[in-house]
């Protein structure tokens, strides 16, 4: 699983990256977490707002930072192969 946190480095982007890395570690799953700060790369996903979370090239959400519990739930669902993540 490849998880990307998209954002230029604002406080919300840093928080989402931290929460995502903590969730992956707590869940003990095999995933790579990447931070994407390049504006062209972010725009290639069709996003107008950051931070955003992308799992296996699928945009899960943008423009907000969910709670750590919600991030764990999203990653767990994606890891299980469920397509309807919140």
Active site residues: 10, 13
Q: Which of 46, 36, 31 is nearest to 8 (CA)?
A: 36
Q: How far is CA 58 from CA 26, 52, 83, in A?
A: 22, 11, 10
In angstroms, the CA 6 to CA 20 distance is: 12
């Amino acid at each position: 699983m490849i998880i990307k946190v998209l954002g230029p480095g604002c406080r919300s982007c840093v928080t989402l990256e931290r929460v995502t890395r903590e969730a992956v570690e707590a869940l003990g799953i095999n995933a790579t977490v990447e931070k994407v700060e390049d504006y062209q790369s972010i725009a290639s996903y069709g996003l107008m707002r950051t931070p955003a979370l992308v799992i296996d090239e699928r945009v899960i959400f943008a423009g907000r930072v969910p709670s750590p519990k919600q991030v764990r739930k999203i990653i767990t669902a994606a890891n299980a192969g469920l397509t309807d993540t919140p």
